[in-house]
Amino acid sequence: MKNIFAQRLKNARIINGWSQDEIANKIGLTKQAISKYEKGLMMPNSSILIDLSNTLNVNIDYFFRPLVVSINNIEFRKKANTPKKNIEIIKHVILDKLERYIEIENICDENTTFNTNMSHIVVSSKDDVYRVAEELKKEWQLGEDGISNVIEILEEHQIKVIEVDGLEKLDGVSGRDNFNNPIIAININITPERKRFSALHELGHIVMNFDESISAKEKEAFCNTFANEMLISKETFIQKIDANRKGITVYELQSIQAQYGISIDALMYKAKELNIISDNRYKNYWIKKNMSSEFKDDVEKSIYGNEKSNRFEFLVYKALAKEMISISKAEYFLNIPQANISSQLNFI
């Protein structure tokens, strides 16, 4: 019991972004007392437990719920630019959301197992990346008309997608839980095009079997190529744009952006990769973006509809409708007021 409380207290403190000194000051305790709680050397009395619960914004039963979930091998994009403290907060926020996700799956008896396996393709070149994307599209029956909803497709194929506020410069992260099922966490505040691209970039980390010689930097580049190819294949892109031209109009790119939900930056990169435009033309594109705020606003404008993860909320409301959980339990899962939940319960 002490060990469970110790870890729960530490998790809740980190999620709030506080040091032991900071939470001690808020509660009116010493840092040494908090340290002893988190080491499992001491338990608080009932009044301090209530203070901890209120300050950390968790229910008292949170502190004593068994720890059954962990996350392994989280991949952080732009990790070097993210402070260590922020990375720890993000990890614990994801873990907290994942715990709730798995708990509601257990209640609804709708646990998932990820079955996609592309390990037979050892990725050591861009051609290998294109092959993985092609085979995955065939396995998932995605076709070439574009993926209308990336998050929905990922959830249909047993990948838990968690949207997180506060990722700051990070677009997304991925990893696996202790049951070896994949998780993708996406920054909730980025544009729909970036969200789609980032989710598929993280999918690349999950499904691609990289050769041991591939560096971390090359992995990131290959995952970008994979995401780009999943959104629009090179054959489809060439068919729409044609090869060997001096430049591409913004109008043409925005038309593709609207259909395939891929940013103009990503489309220009693809045009360079496929030698549709020269490296010099691609550099001039970025120079123009940096020099003209009007042009930058035009090409970075989001024109694709937003996507969000729905499966977790769907399971909560399903359990509520079937009287598997109470409204107070739904409040715990969704972390929103009971009044908001009740307003959604329009039974038919």
* Strand order from edge to edge, sheet including 71-76: 71-76, 172-177, 182-187, 160-164
In this structure, of 81-95, 127-141, 294-308, the range with the lowest mean pLDDT score is: 81-95
> What is the average pLDDT across 217-222?
94
Asked if the model's pLDDT at residue 78 lies above 80, the reply is: no
SS3 187: strand
Asked if the model's pLDDT at residue 247 lies above 90, the reply is: no
> What is the average pLDDT across 162-186?
84
> What is the average pLDDT across 55-78?
80
SS3 186: strand
Look at strands 71-76 and 172-177 and give their pairing: antiparallel
For residue 162, list its beta bridge partners. 185
In this structure, of 128-132, 140-144, 213-217, 342-346, the range with the lowest mean pLDDT score is: 342-346
Q: Report the mean per-residue pLDDT for the chain.
A: 90
Confidence grade of residue 1 (pLDDT, cut at 50, 70, 90): confident
Residue 234's pLDDT is: 94
How many whole angstroms separate alpha carbon 264 and alpha carbon 114? 32
Asked if the model's pLDDT at residue 41 lies above 70, the reply is: yes
Look at strands 122-123 and 209-210 and give their pairing: parallel
CA angle 97, 98, 100 (to 5 degrees): 65
Total residues found in the chain within this entry? 348
Tokens of 216: 């971390």
In this structure, of 137-146, 237-246, 264-273, the range with the lowest mean pLDDT score is: 237-246
| CB count in 10 Å sphere of residue 321 | 11
How many whole angstroms separate alpha carbon 43 and alpha carbon 278? 66
Tokens of 159: 């990948």
Asked if the model's pLDDT at residue 46 lies above 70, the reply is: yes
Long-range contacts of 266-273 (CB under 8 A, 24+ apart): 266/193, 266/197, 266/227, 266/228, 266/231, 267/232, 267/237, 269/224, 269/228, 270/228, 270/232, 270/234, 270/237, 271/237, 271/241, 273/126, 273/225, 273/234
Asked if the model's pLDDT at residue 297 lies above 80, the reply is: yes
Residues with Cβ < 8 Å from 190, sequence gap 6 or more? Answer: 171, 198
In this structure, of 64-78, 198-212, 329-343, the range with the lowest mean pLDDT score is: 64-78
Residues with Cβ < 8 Å from 294, sequence gap 6 or more? Answer: none
> Is the sign of the CA dihedral 286, 265, 305, 87 positive or negative?
negative
Residue 269's pLDDT is: 94
> What is the average pLDDT across 128-153?
95
Residue 93, CA atoms < 13 Å, CB-side half-sphere: 21
Each residue's pLDDT tens digit, 79-113: 556 677 777 888 888 889 999 999 999 999 998 88
Residue 347's pLDDT is: 65
> What is the average pLDDT across 37-64?
92
Asked if the model's pLDDT at residue 254 lies above 80, the reply is: yes
Highest mean pLDDT among 89-98, 180-189, 201-210, 321-330: 201-210
Question: Are 33 and 26 within 8 A, CB to CB?
Answer: no
CA angle 292, 296, 300 (to 5 degrees): 180
Confidence grade of residue 192 (pLDDT, cut at 50, 70, 90): very high
How many whole angstroms separate alpha carbon 52 and alpha carbon 63? 10
Confidence grade of residue 338 (pLDDT, cut at 50, 70, 90): confident
In this structure, of 66-75, 123-132, 309-318, the range with the lowest mean pLDDT score is: 66-75
How many whole angstroms separate alpha carbon 128 and alpha carbon 132? 6
Residue 82's pLDDT is: 65
For residue 335, list its beta bridge partners. none
How many whole angstroms separate alpha carbon 1 and alpha carbon 271? 58
pTM for the model:
0.87
Residue 309's pLDDT is: 86
Residue 141's pLDDT is: 95
The burial of 167, by beta-carbon neighbours within 10 Å (0-12 exposed, 13-18 middle, 19 or more buried), is given as buried
| CB count in 10 Å sphere of residue 147 | 23
